[in-house]
Chain A
Amino acid sequence: MSTALNEYLRLAEPHLSPRLISATALADLERLARLMPPVSASGFECRLGREEAQADFGVRFLASDGSRAMLAGRVDAGSALPSSLFSHPVWERLRRFGARWDTPGTLLEQELGDVFLEFDVEGTPPPVPIPSFFIEYDRRAWRRLEAMEEALALLWGEPLAPAVRERVVACLAALPSGGSVSAVGAMFSRRFDGVRLCLQGLGPSTLPYYLLRVGWPGDPREVEALLARVAGRVERMALSLDVGATVLPRLGVECHLADSLHEADSERWASLLDALVTQGLCLRAKRDALVEWLGHTHLRSRPEALPGNLRALSASLGPKALPVFLRRINHLKLVLQPGRPPEAKAYLVLIQRWLGHDGQRRRYVFGDLQEVRDAVLG
Chain B
Amino acid sequence: MDKDHIRNFCIIAHIDHGKSTLADRLMDVTGTVSEREAKDQLLDNMDIERERGITIKLQPVRMFYQLDGEEYMLNLIDTPGHVDFTYEVSRSLAACEGAVLVVDATQGVEAQTLTNVYLAIDNDLEVIPVINKVDLSGADVEGTRKEIEDIIGIAAKDAPAISAKTGLNVEAVLESIIYNLPAPKGDDHAPLKALIFDSVYDNYKGAISFIRVMDGSVKVGDRIKMFSTGKVFDVTEVGVFTPKMVPVKELSAGEVGYLAASIKNVSDTAVGDTITFAEGGTKEPFPGYKAVKPVVFAGIFPADGSKYTELREALEKLKLNDASLFFEPDVSAALGFGFRCGFLGLLHMEIIEERLEREFNIDLVTTAPSVSYKVYKYGGEVLNVDNPSHLPSPSEIDYMEEPIVRATLFTPPEYVGPIMELCQGKRGIFLDMSYVDTSRAKITYDIPLAEIVYDFFDDLKSRTRGYASMDYEIIGFHKSELVKLDIMLNGEVCDALSLIVHKDDAYGRGRGIAEKLKEVIPRQMFEIPIQACVGGKVIARETVKAMRKDVLAKCYGGDITRKKKLLEKQKEGKKRMRQVGSVSLPSEAFMSILKR
Question: Do the two chains bind?
Answer: no
